[in-house]
Every structure is written in C-alpha cells, then in structure tokens.
Structure 1
Amino acid sequence: MTETQQTEEELFCIGCGARIQTTDKEALGYTPNSALKKGLETGQLYCQRCFRLRHYNEISDIKLNDDDFLALLNQIGDSDALIVNVVDIFDFNGSLIPGLHRFIGDNPVILVGNKVDILPSALNPNKVINWIQKEAKEHGLHPVETMLVSAKKGNSVDELLAVIERERKGRDVYVVGVTNVGKSTLINRIIKQTGILDSDVITTSQFPGTTLDRIDIPLYEDDHALIDTPGIMHAQQMAHYLHDKDLRLIAPQKRIKPKVYQLNEQQTLFLGGLARFDFIQGARHGFVGYFDNELYIHRTKLENADQFYAKQLGDMLQPPHPEDLADFPELQRYEFSTKQKSDLVFAGLGWITLPENVVVAGYAPKGVSVMIRKALI
C-alpha cells in the first residue's frame, strides 16, 4: 500500500488529532512526505506543527477556513475557560474576530494588543489602550483586562502571564487570533520564558479527530493547559491582498518613523498601489503619515490621480506586483470631514493624522476598512 493510499484512509496526528495531509503547508495536518514515511515506520506520526512544538518548542501559525473556525468558536463557548484574544495594534479592526462575543459565552477575555514595539515613540500607550477598549466595546467585547505587548521583543509578556494566572482560576487558557497578529510568536515567547516544557509537551489525542483544531500545552500544574488555536484569514485584513514577500509592509519590523507631507488641497498621496489619500478641501497643511518605513509613497495632483493609478499600478505603484494584478480588487473610496485633529486609518497599513476642518478621502481594497478616529498623537 502506498503512502498516498494510507493518507486517503485518514491518518491522524497523534499530537493534535488533525487529519494528516501532504499538499498544503499552511493547512491543518500538513506533514512532508519524508516525515510521513518515517512516522508510519515508527508509529509516531505527527503533523509538522506538532513536530516543531515537540522537538523545538515552536508553534507555527495554521489557517482555518470559516466553517472550521466557527466550529472552534462554538467549542470554546462550550468550555469553562479564560480567553486570550490577540489583536494587532496596527490593524485593530482588521484583526478583531467577527462576533467573538457571541461565541465565548460567559468566559472572561483578556484583550492583548501586540506589536507595541513598532508604534511611534511619541504615542502614549494609555491612549492606545483607551482606544482599543472603546473599539472593543462597540463590537460587543468587554475584556476583563486590556494589555499591550511585543511578542517579538518580549515587552510586558511577564506582566501578561501574571494577569493570565490571576484570571484563569484553575481553568484552561485559549489563545485566539486571526492570522498575522503575532499569536504564534506570543505563544513561542511564553514557552521560552516559562522554560518548564519537556519532550512530552504535546497532549496525545486518544480519539483521532476530536482535537482537530487545537494543541494543548501543559503549562500549569493543575492538569489545565494553554491551548493554541489556528488562526483565520480575516477578509478585512490588508494581508488578504498581499503576496508573502510584501507582508513586511503590514508587519513592520522596526519602530515606525513619522513622515510629514506638506499638501495643498487637490493633492493625492498613493501608498504604493495599496491605498490612496486625497486632500480635497482645506488650507495648506502638514499631514503626518505613520506607515512602514519602506512603503513607497507618491504625491500627485488629484485631477491626474485616476489616470496615474491606472497606468502605474504594478509598475511605479507597488505592491501589488504585475503578477498579482489579476486578483487585486478595485480601491473603494471613503470621504470624511474633520471637526477636530483626527487619524485617517487604513486598516493594517497605517494612518495619516489630519488637522481640523478639512475634507479628505481614503481608498483601500474593497472590504478593507478605512475609518477616522480622534488623533492618538
């Protein structure tokens, strides 16, 4: 019998219960053919995600489709657990899990804003926390604690662990988040900082398929665990429209340096080919942009902007790249008038700080949020 035939007979990972497959590296149960052969010979068949956790203490991010993610949320709602919801500070609205509050029942939530290390140094963290709490409340989420951390640098992770221990009250802890928020990086940081895991880190599933969407990490001594859950690709994330090589533009690795653009009305800024800003009406003013330091920004006249975009998209205006243009959606326009100093936010990409009494428009791929808020700086 061939390995392919055996896989078709539904082999399961003995670590998490996921159905073994050898075709999609980003999906649940992926196992390279070489590892599949060895696992069948030894009887120790792990998916790649479990193998890396077991041998290297590393969690990797895996994507779920909408139906599987809905099943996961229902599973969490039926549990008595503490929920740690990781969001991207830079893309808060795009990284919220739609309807999370309806699925978690009475389980408490700790809301964790990740990537604090890349925020501009002038930004007051308390303002960010207040804004996150306000937005969460408007989406029906009432966290028992809101924290800012850097999973990459380790900022405030010890404080987060203390809050988790205070709030979990002898329960399991589910860590949830959409893709690209740094959930897996945070779990890896927790694993390294606790330093208590051994080679038996993965809870073995006795009933293959029953723990299809989770990995239990026995972090506590009371038979409860920190539970890693796969992420879902949120349709309102800018990442949905980017090639892997461009994800750095929405996941900056260095602290963002603000850039000032002195604009007259009827001028336009293109943010690569991903987004657009029109200064429609108002006095000449300096507009401050907060984007990845490598994002190409081009200034032109508003009257020429449509023609310029059509001609230069995929060429001067990248990303997207020429090979990605067929799948790149049209930009959708949103117009705003300001009464106070405000931020025009392009979800996942950054924001531009606006003065009072101006009329502007922001464009982003259809489905990606463009919104206005009270200025954080």
Structure 2
Amino acid sequence: MTDQEELRCIGCGSVIQTINKNGLGYTPKSALERGLKSGDLYCQRCFRLRHYNEIAPVSLTDDDFLALLNQIRDANALIVYVVDIFDFNGSLIPGLHRFVGDNPVLLVGNKEDLLPRSLRRRKLTDWLRQQANEAGIRPLKTILVSAKKNHQIDNLLDEIETLRGDRDVYVVGVTNVGKSTLINQIIKQRTGVQDLITTSRFPGTTLDKIEIPLDDGHQLVDTPGIIHQEQMAYVLPPEDLRLVAPQKEIKPHTYQLSDEQTIFLGGIGRFDYLKGPKVGVVAYFENNLVLHRTKYQNADQFYQRHLGDLLVPPHPGNESQIPPLVRYEFKTRQKSDLVFEGLGWITVPANVTVAGWAPKGVAVLLRKAMI
C-alpha cells in the first residue's frame, strides 16, 4: 500500500502504512484487511492504546504540530479552543492569535466535573474569561463542559451552530486537555458511533488533523494537540502520572500553617510557607496524591530520606526518572493560587511569602485565586 492512497487511522489521523513498524500509522497487513472490511481502521499504536492502554513514543516534533496548526490561519472557521480547567495555565497556547487570524473563538473549559460542586459555575466562567483576556484571547463566548461526563455537550453543540455560520469548525488545544474525548461525544451525539477517536490520559494522542463532515458540507476538524513541555505529563512515568491526574471531583484540603512550614506533594512537588502570620491555605490536588506536612528546616533531609516511600509518587525505582525539584519564590499581593502546572494548586492569602518546587521543566506560577 502506498501513502498516495491516504487511508487514515480513525483514531489519530495518521496515514496508514504497512512497511515501517516504527513509523506513524503502521498497521500489519492482516489488521489492515480486517479494518477495511469492518470500517474500523486503526493503526497499531491506536489499537494498543485503546485495548491495552499502552502508549508508544511518537516522532512528531513541535514544528510538525505547529505546521499543522498554521493551516488554521488560512481557513474560514470557528475556532473551538479547549482548555483544561484544572490545568488552565498549562492549557494556554502561546501566541494563539497567530494561528486563528481573524477567525472567531469559542472558549471551552473542559473537565469542570473535577472542581468542587460548591464553586459557582457562573463565577468560574467569569474567572476563565478574565484569565483568557489576560492572555490576549477574546472569545465570543465561554462555556464549561465535561466531555467525560457528557455534561453540557448539547449546549456546546448549540453554541457551535449559532456561532459558526457558514464556516468549518476547528477544535484546538494543547495535548491532554480532553479534545479527543470531546470530539467523541460530539460524534456520538450526531451519529451514535461511540469512541471513534483514540483517547488517553497520555499526551500526543491525535497525530494529524481528523476531519468530520457536517450536514451542510462543512467540516469539524480535530487538530493535533500543541505540545506544552511544561506540563507534568511530560516528566512523569505512566504509573506515576496515574496518581496525579484527577479522575473525579477534587476534595480540597485545608491546612493551618505558621511560617517556616512545608507541605510535600508526594515526591514531585513542595510548598514552603516562608513568612507571614498563621494562616489557612487550601490545597487542590488529585485525591490520591499524598500530602505530607513537616518543618521547613528539616524539609531537605526529609525529602532525601523518604522519596519513594512516604513521598510517592515517584514509585520505588522511578526516583532517578524524576528531574530534580526547582524552587520558585513569590510574595502575594492578593489572594492567590500557587500553581504547579499539571498537578494542582494551593490557595494562599495576600501579603505572605511562599515558595513552590516542581520537577525541572514544570512551571510554578502565581495567579489570581480561582476559588
């Protein structure tokens, strides 16, 4: 089979080929024949991901992804920009305006089911819009959904139809924000077909744009996720990532802290309360992530002694795979979130000095408090 035939994997969009076992789109000839008969044509990578949750490395580079997204600039399309509410800052695409041109933007905050139900959704929507504005993004509308729970998908479809006019629809976002899950829900709503596109908690699932025809001759296009190397997903082994990627509603933990106290986030993050009065801080992380409080003056020795046992992740044996923790210090001027990208955040009051530690390459930043 040649590439000119351009049979594509319906899971990731790669061109199917039967020659290079290590290349994108590879599928054995026998599997290709079965896929052509059944109509379910998946590459070997997607087949293993769907059935065994195995992830294979991909050969696409940052430039490959950017080149694909550059096509959006010349398109006449509504841009559906999907962000992960739990990891909003890690969801931002630097210079998004360069990709969308004059096309209108619909901002979609996915994974809203992970945030506490006590948080008013109207307030969350306003916060999300304000944060997007600060990043230079001016969406026509902001909407919250949970693709996993199929929450507000009907509302999203109505908004897309209202805003797109006589245009295609391009769905964009960084890796791991749930774009493919969202597209699957849209396909299911429209056609009844379930789990057509490959989905995974691992980054880089969609490897080429996937075009889905709409009723009026236009297309809904799922684009590959932009690689955001500062996400936690890029530095953790898969078995450790499972312990930090939230799968259900977060239960906040409140700590009363005096200055010079430390909270370890398993063995992959650290929060230091350095200076200020006795205060309450609230931690928002995956419920299974073990948080451990100790004295600041003993924290370095505690980390060296207990990494891999009390402080997990990393799992025992994975310690050497985790980059060293890097320290970032901040003085707050207002109620703020100290964010560990891809891991969670700790809400702290104004006028205190704090420090956050994360594996080298993972961003730690201060933002206006979400809650």
Please give the TM-score of this superposition, normalised by the length of structure 2: 0.84
Give 3-state SS (helix, strand or coil) of 2:293's partner.
strand
The question of 1:18 aligning with 2:15 is answered yes
1:263 matched residue in structure 2: 257
1:123 shift after superposition: 1.6
Relative to structure 2, which stretch is displaced further, 110-119 or 122-131?
122-131
1:274 shift after superposition: 1.4
Distance change >3 Å, CA 357–CA 39, structure 1 → 2: closer
How many residues of Structure 1 are paired with residues of Structure 2 in the alignment? 348
2:166 matched residue in structure 1: 170
Measure, in 2, the Cα distance between the counterparts of 1:271 and 1:251.
Answer: 13
CA RMSD between the two structures = 3.1
1:214 matched residue in structure 2: 209
Contact 2:243 2:313 in 1 (8 A): no
Write the letter of the residue equivalent to 2:177. Answer: V
The question of 1:187 aligning with 2:167 is answered no
1:224 matched residue in structure 2: 218
1:332 matched residue in structure 2: 326
CA deviations 1:307-358 (Å, max 9, x no partner) are: 2222322332121234433332222211122233222222221111212332
Measure, in 1, the Cα distance between the counterparts of 2:120 and 2:38.
Answer: 54
2:350 matched residue in structure 1: 356
The question of 1:95 aligning with 2:88 is answered no
Map 1:128-147 to 2 at 5 A. 128-147=124-143
Map 1:1-377 to 2 at 5 A. 10=3, 13-15=6-8, 16=13, 18-20=15-17, 23=21, 28-32=24-28, 34-36=30-32, 38=34, 46-48=41-43, 64-195=60-191, 213-218=208-213, 220-377=214-371
Give 3-state SS (helix, strand or coil) of 1:231's partner.
coil
CA deviations 1:195-228 (Å, max 9, x no partner) are: 3669xx99xxxxxxxxx8222112x221111112
Measure, in 1, the Cα distance between the counterparts of 2:57 and 2:223.
Answer: 8
Contact 2:335 2:348 in 1 (8 A): yes
Measure, in 2, the Cα distance between the counterparts of 1:153 and 1:247.
Answer: 21
Write the letter of the residue equivalent to 2:359. Answer: P
Distance change >3 Å, CA 224–CA 196, structure 1 → 2: farther
Measure, in 2, the Cα distance between the counterparts of 1:157 and 1:251.
Answer: 22
Measure, in 1, the Cα distance between the counterparts of 2:142 and 2:134.
Answer: 15
Measure, in 2, the Cα distance between the counterparts of 1:72 and 1:361.
Answer: 38
Write the letter of the residue equivalent to 1:14. Answer: L
Distance change >3 Å, CA 10–CA 181, structure 1 → 2: same
Measure, in 1, the Cα distance between the counterparts of 2:347 and 2:193.
Answer: 45
Please give the TM-score of this superposition, normalised by the length of structure 1: 0.82
Relative to structure 2, which stretch is displaced further, 91-100 or 105-114?
91-100
Percent of aligned positions that are identical: 58
Contact 1:281 1:360 in 2 (8 A): yes
1:50 shift after superposition: 12
Give 3-state SS (helix, strand or coil) of 2:148's partner.
coil
1:173 shift after superposition: 0.9
Write the letter of the residue equivalent to 2:7. Answer: I
Contact 2:78 2:163 in 1 (8 A): yes
Relative to structure 2, which stretch is displaced further, 231-240 or 9-18?
9-18
